[in-house]
C-alpha cells in the first residue's frame, strides 16, 4: 500500500510537470468557459429548457475533461510507459502490477475532478451557474461517465502496438468525439450528425450529465446508463484479455 | 561448491513461435560469485536471465532462485533480488532522488539511497531529471535502483552496452565492489573481454544452447590454443632457424612482421634466445595470449562480432 500511495503521489507530480496534460485538463476548459461565457452570458434561454448557456456548457466541458484524461492522457501515458519499458521496470519490484495502473487511473481521475471543480467554482462566481437543487445524482453519473471513457482508453492502450499509434488514434477519436457528442457545441447539430454521434459513448455521457444538471432523474436516462455501463464492461473485458506489459 | 548454489536451472526451454530462444539450458550460480553469461546478440541471454528473474514464463525445465520458484514465489523473490534491464527507462521528468525514494517504498527493507548515490558517483545528480542523464549516468542510476533494497543477488543485463571504455571500467569496479559486499552477481554481456576480466565463471551461449561453462582461465586452457610472439626485424629473416626451438610450432611472416606460434611458458625465452644467439636485430616484440574471443571462435566456428 505504501508503494501504491507513493507511486500515485509521484505520478501526480509528473502530471503537473507535463505542461500539455495540465493545460488541456485544467486550463483549456476553463479558458473556453470564460471566453464563451463572456460572449453568451448565462441568461435563461428557451432552447436550453430555461437554462443559460453556461449551465449547459459546464456539464459538456466536464465530459470533455473526462475524454481528455481518460482517452488522451491515459492511453498515451500507458502506451508510452510500455514502450519505454517503465511498466517492465516497475513490474520487477514487489509492487503489485495492478498498482501501477491504479496509480495512473487515480491521478487522471483526480485531475478530471479538479478540472470539473474549477469549472463549477468559476461558473458560479462569475456567471451565477445554476446548480441543481439535489446535486448528489450527478456524482455517480460523473463516475459512470469516467469509468466508461477510461475503459475505452484502456482498450486503445492495450490493442495498439506503439505509443505513437496510440497517441494518434486517441487524437483521431478525441476530436470528432468532443464535437459530435455535443460536449463543446450544444444541440445545434443537424439531425444526421446527431444520429451518427449515437455510436460514441461520450454522446451518452454528455446527455446524461446535461440531463441530470437540468434537474432530470436517473430513470429518465436509462438508455444512457445502459450504454455507458455496457461500454465499461466490454472495455474492461477486452483490455483484460489484450493488455500487454511489454 | 554444490551446496551453496543460489540459482539452479535445469533443462530450461523457451520458444517464441517455432524459434527455440533457449533450448535445454542447465547451470548453477554459486553464492558470492560473479557469474557471466556471454554470447552474441540473440543468443538467448536475456531470455534466460528474465526466466531466472521470474519475469518470463519458461516453456519447460525447472528454475530455483534463493530456494524459491520464480513463477510461484515471484513476490518473495522480487523483494530479495535487484534487477537491471538491458533496455529500460523511466519517466523523463522524474528526478533521480524521486525515483530512488519511490523504489525504496516498494520494499519492506531498503538502504539509505543517499549513500548509494555517493558511492555510484551520482551525488551531484540528485535533482537531475532522468532525461538529462548521460548514458553512463543512466546505467549507474539503474544500478542504484537495483541495489536500493539491499538485495542478496543482483541481475545485470548488458550492464556496459553503449558505454565508453572509461565508463565501462568504472562499471567493472562497481560490480566487483557489489560482490565484495557479499552479494551474488549474475550478468550477461556480449563483450568477451568483459566476461574474461570480470567474471569468476563464464557460460558461453549460442543459438539458445550452452557451448561451454567454466572459469575464463580453464576455458582458455582447454582450448589448447597457441600463444604468439610477434616482432619485426630490420633485415629479412630465415624463419626455418626459429623452428628449431622445441616450444615453437610454426612461424608466419607478414611483411616485416614475424609471428611465432607455440605452446608453454618457455616460448618467449626460446624465441628471444634464438634471435640473440643468431645476432638478429628485432623490434617491438610482444606476446599475445589466446582469449575468450578465441574460445568462442574455436567452439562455434564463428567470430563473436555482431
Residue of B nearest to A84 (CA): B89
Least confident of A170-179, B9-18, B54-63, B283-292: B283-292
**Residues of chain B with C-beta less than 8 angstroms from the C-beta of A82:** none
Within this chain, do residues B148 and B266 fall inside the same structural domain, yes or no?
Answer: no
Least confident of B16-25, B92-101, B104-113, B292-301: B292-301
Task: Indicate the pLDDT class of residue A140, thresholds 50, 70 and 90.
Answer: very high
Within this chain, do residues B141 and B24 fall inside the same structural domain, yes or no?
Answer: yes
Task: Indicate the pLDDT class of residue A187, thresholds 50, 70 and 90.
Answer: low
Q: What's the pLDDT score for residue A25?
A: 92
Say if strands B257-262 and B153-157 run parallel, antiparallel, or are unpaired: unpaired
d(CA B100, CA A206): 42
**Cβ atoms of B75 and A91 closer than 8 Å:** no
Interface check for B101 against chain A (CB to CB < 8 A): the answer is yes
Q: What's the pLDDT score for residue A151?
A: 96
Q: What's the pLDDT score for residue A40?
A: 86
- What pLDDT digit, counting tens, does each position of B24-60 carry? 999 999 999 999 999 988 899 999 999 999 999 999 9
Region of B285 (left: φ > 0; alpha: ψ -120 to 50; beta: rest) is beta
Residues in chain A, total: 246
Least confident of A57-61, A69-73, A95-99, B238-242: B238-242
Within this chain, do residues B198 and B254 fall inside the same structural domain, yes or no?
Answer: no
d(CA A146, CA A66): 6
Q: CB atoms < 10 A from the CB of A191, how many?
A: 7
Q: What's the pLDDT score for residue B2?
A: 52
Interface check for A38 against chain B (CB to CB < 8 A): the answer is no
Within this chain, do residues B248 and B205 fall inside the same structural domain, yes or no?
Answer: no
d(CA B260, CA B274): 12
User: Does position B145 have pLDDT exceeding 60, yes or no?
Assistant: yes
**How many interchain CB pairs under 8 A, A with B?**
55
Residue listed under C-alpha cell 513476490: B75
Least confident of A32-46, A134-148, A217-231, B124-138: A32-46
Residue listed under C-alpha cell 430555461: A50
Q: How far is CA B221 from CA A224, B202, B214, in A?
A: 77, 14, 11
Within this chain, do residues B250 and B166 fall inside the same structural domain, yes or no?
Answer: no
**Cβ atoms of B119 and A20 closer than 8 Å:** no
User: Does position B12 have pLDDT exceeding 90, yes or no?
Assistant: yes
d(CA B42, CA A144): 47
Flag whether B252 is in a domain: yes
Within this chain, do residues B97 and B211 fall inside the same structural domain, yes or no?
Answer: yes
- What pLDDT digit, counting tens, does each position of A91-125 carry? 999 998 899 999 999 999 999 999 999 999 999 99
User: Does position B73 have pLDDT exceeding 90, yes or no?
Assistant: yes
User: Does position B303 have pLDDT exceeding 80, yes or no?
Assistant: no
Within this chain, do residues B210 and B233 fall inside the same structural domain, yes or no?
Answer: no
Is A89–B105 a contact, with Cβ atoms under 8 angstroms apart? Answer: no
Flag whether B86 is in a domain: yes
* Among candidate residues B190, B276, B285, B272, the one with its CA nearest the CA of residue B231: B285
Interface check for A16 against chain B (CB to CB < 8 A): the answer is no
**Residues of chain A with C-beta less than 8 angstroms from the C-beta of B102:** 6-7, 10
**Cβ atoms of A3 and A99 closer than 8 Å:** yes
Count the domains in chain B. Answer: 2
Q: Which strands, in side-by-side order, build the sheet including B248-254?
A: B248-254, B257-262, B227-233, B282-288
Give the domain range for residue A79: 2-242
Is B106–A93 a contact, with Cβ atoms under 8 angstroms apart? Answer: yes
Within this chain, do residues B153 and B249 fall inside the same structural domain, yes or no?
Answer: no
The larger pLDDT score, comparing residue B96 to residue A245, is at B96
Q: What's the pLDDT score for residue B1?
A: 47
Count the domains in chain A. Answer: 1
Within this chain, do residues B70 and B190 fall inside the same structural domain, yes or no?
Answer: yes
Mean pLDDT over B133-155 rounds to 93
Flag whether B297 is in a domain: no
**Residues of chain B with C-beta less than 8 angstroms from the C-beta of A85:** 85, 87-89
Within this chain, do residues B14 and B55 fall inside the same structural domain, yes or no?
Answer: yes
Task: Indicate the pLDDT class of residue B244, thresholds 50, 70 and 90.
Answer: confident
User: Does position B252 have pLDDT exceeding 80, yes or no?
Assistant: yes
Flag whether B95 is in a domain: yes
Which among A18, A88, A95 has the least Cβ separation from residue B88? A88
Which among B79, B88, B102 has the least Cβ separation from residue A85? B88
Q: How far is CA A8 from CA A11, A13, A90, in A?
A: 5, 9, 13
* H or E element that contains B45: helix B45-53
Q: What's the pLDDT score for residue B280?
A: 84
User: Does position B306 have pLDDT exceeding 70, yes or no?
Assistant: no
Give the domain range for residue B281: 226-289
Within this chain, do residues B152 and B55 fall inside the same structural domain, yes or no?
Answer: yes
**Mean pLDDT, all residues of chain A:** 92
Mean pLDDT over A77-83 rounds to 94
**Residues of chain B with C-beta less than 8 angstroms from the C-beta of A17:** 93
Q: Which strands, in side-by-side order, build the sheet including B5-16?
A: B19-30, B5-16, B60-65
Task: Indicate the pLDDT class of residue B124, thresholds 50, 70 and 90.
Answer: very high
- What pLDDT digit, counting tens, does each position of A191-214 carry? 888 888 889 999 999 999 999 998
Domain boundary among B164, B199, B221: B221
Interface check for B250 against chain A (CB to CB < 8 A): the answer is no
Flag whether B21 is in a domain: yes
Does this model's pTM top 0.80? My answer is yes
Flag whether B306 is in a domain: no
Interface check for A45 against chain B (CB to CB < 8 A): the answer is no
User: Does position A188 have pLDDT exceeding 80, yes or no?
Assistant: no
Which CATH number is B230's domain given? Answer: 3.30.70.980
The terminus-to-terminus CA distance of chain B in angstroms comes to 35
- What pLDDT digit, counting tens, does each position of A162-185 carry? 999 999 999 999 999 999 988 887
d(CA A17, CA A75): 18
Provide the strand spans (E) within chain B.
Answer: 5-16, 19-30, 34-38, 60-65, 81-84, 153-157, 184-189, 201-206, 209-214, 227-233, 248-254, 257-262, 282-288
Mean pLDDT over B125-148 rounds to 93
Task: Indicate the pLDDT class of residue A53, thresholds 50, 70 and 90.
Answer: confident
Is A3–B106 a contact, with Cβ atoms under 8 angstroms apart? Answer: yes
**Cβ atoms of B268 and B208 closer than 8 Å:** no
ipTM score above 0.95 = no
Within this chain, do residues B106 and B54 fall inside the same structural domain, yes or no?
Answer: yes
- What pLDDT digit, counting tens, does each position of B165-202 carry? 888 888 899 899 999 989 999 999 988 889 999 999 99
Flag whether B202 is in a domain: yes
Flag whether B294 is in a domain: no
Task: Indicate the pLDDT class of residue B264, thresholds 50, 70 and 90.
Answer: confident
Amino acid at each position: 500500500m505504501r508503494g501504491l500511495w507513493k507511486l500515485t503521489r509521484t505520478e501526480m507530480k509528473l502530471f503537473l510537470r507535463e505542461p500539455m496534460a495540465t493545460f488541456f485538463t485544467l486550463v483549456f476548459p476553463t479558458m473556453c468557459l470564460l471566453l464563451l461565457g463572456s460572449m453568451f452570458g448565462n441568461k435563461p434561454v428557451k432552447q436550453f429548457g430555461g437554462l443559460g448557456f453556461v449551465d449547459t456548457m459546464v456539464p459538456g466541458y466536464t465530459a470533455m475533461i473526462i475524454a481528455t484524461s481518460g482517452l488522451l492522457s491515459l492511453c498515451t501515458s500507458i502506451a508510452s510507459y510500455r514502450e519505454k519499458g517503465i511498466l517492465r521496470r516497475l513490474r520487477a519490484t514487489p509492487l503489485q502490477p495492478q498498482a501501477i495502473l491504479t496509480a495512473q487511473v487515480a491521478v487522471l481521475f483526480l485531475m478530471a475532478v479538479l478540472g470539473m471543480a474549477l469549472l463549477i467554482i468559476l461558473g458560479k462566481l462569475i456567471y451565477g451557474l445554476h446548480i441543481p437543487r439535489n446535486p448528489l445524482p450527478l456524482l455517480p453519473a460523473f463516475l459512470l461517465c469516467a469509468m466508461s471513457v477510461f475503459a475505452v482508453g484502456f482498450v486503445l492502450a492495450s490493442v495498439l502496438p506503439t505509443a505513437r499509434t496510440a497517441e494518434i488514434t486517441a487524437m483521431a477519436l478525441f476530436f470528432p468525439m468532443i464535437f459530435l457528442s455535443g460536449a463543446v457545441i450544444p444541440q445545434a447539430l443537424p439531425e444526421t450528425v446527431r444520429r451518427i454521434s449515437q455510436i460514441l459513448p461520450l454522446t451518452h455521457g454528455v446527455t446524461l450529465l446535461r440531463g441530470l444538471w437540468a434537474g432530470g432523474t436517473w430513470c429518465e436516462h436509462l438508455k444512457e446508463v445502459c450504454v455507458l455501463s455496457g461500454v465499461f464492461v466490454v472495455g474492461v473485458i477486452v483490455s483484460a484479455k489484450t493488455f500487454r506489459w511489454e | 561448491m554444490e551446496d551453496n548454489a543460489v540459482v539452479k536451472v535445469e533443462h530450461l526451454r523457451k520458444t517464441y513461435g517455432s524459434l527455440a530462444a533457449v533450448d535445454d539450458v542447465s547451470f548453477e550460480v554459486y553464492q558470492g560469485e560473479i557469474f557471466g553469461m556471454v554470447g552474441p546478440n540473440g543468443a538467448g541471454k536475456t531470455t534466460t536471465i528474465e526466466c531466472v528473474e521470474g519475469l518470463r514464463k519458461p516453456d519447460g525445465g525447472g528454475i530455483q532462485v534463493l530456494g524459491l520458484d520464480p513463477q510461484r514465489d515471484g513476490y518473495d523473490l522480487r523483494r530479495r533480488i535487484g534487477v537491471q534491464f538491458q533496455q529500460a527507462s523511466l519517466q523523463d521528468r522524474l528526478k533521480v532522488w524521486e525515483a530512488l525514494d519511490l523504489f525504496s517504498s516498494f520494499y519492506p527493507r531498503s538502504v539509505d539511497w543517499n549513500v548509494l548515490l555517493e558511492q555510484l558517483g551520482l551525488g551531484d545528480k540528485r535533482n537531475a531529471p532522468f532525461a538529462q542523464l548521460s548514458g553512463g549516468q543512466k546505467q549507474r542510476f539503474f544500478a542504484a535502483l537495483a541495489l536500493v533494497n539491499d538485495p542478496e543477488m543482483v541481475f545485470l543485463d548488458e550492464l556496459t552496452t553503449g558505454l565508453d571504455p572509461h565508463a565501462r571500467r568504472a562499471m567493472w569496479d562497481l560490480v566487483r565492489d557489489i560482490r565484495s559486499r557479499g552479494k551474488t552477481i549474475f550478468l550477461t554481456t556480449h563483450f568477451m573481454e568483459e566476461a574474461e576480466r570480470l567474471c569468476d565463471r563464464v557460460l558461453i551461449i549460442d543459438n539458445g544452447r550452452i557451448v561451454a561453462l567454466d572459469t575464463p582461465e580453464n576455458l582458455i586452457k582447454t582450448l589448447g590454443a597457441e600463444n604468439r610472439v610477434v616482432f619485426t626485424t630490420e633485415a629479412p629473416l630465415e624463419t626455418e632457424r626459429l623452428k628449431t626451438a622445441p616450444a615453437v610450432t610454426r612461424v608466419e611472416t607478414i611483411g616485416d612482421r614475424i609471428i611465432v606460434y607455440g605452446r608453454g611458458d618457455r616460448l618467449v625465452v626460446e624465441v628471444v634466445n634464438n634471435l640473440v644467439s643468431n645476432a638478429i636485430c628485432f623490434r617491438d616484440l610482444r606476446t599475445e595470449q589466446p582469449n575468450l574471443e578465441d574460445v568462442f571462435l574455436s567452439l562455434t566456428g564463428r567470430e563473436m562480432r555482431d
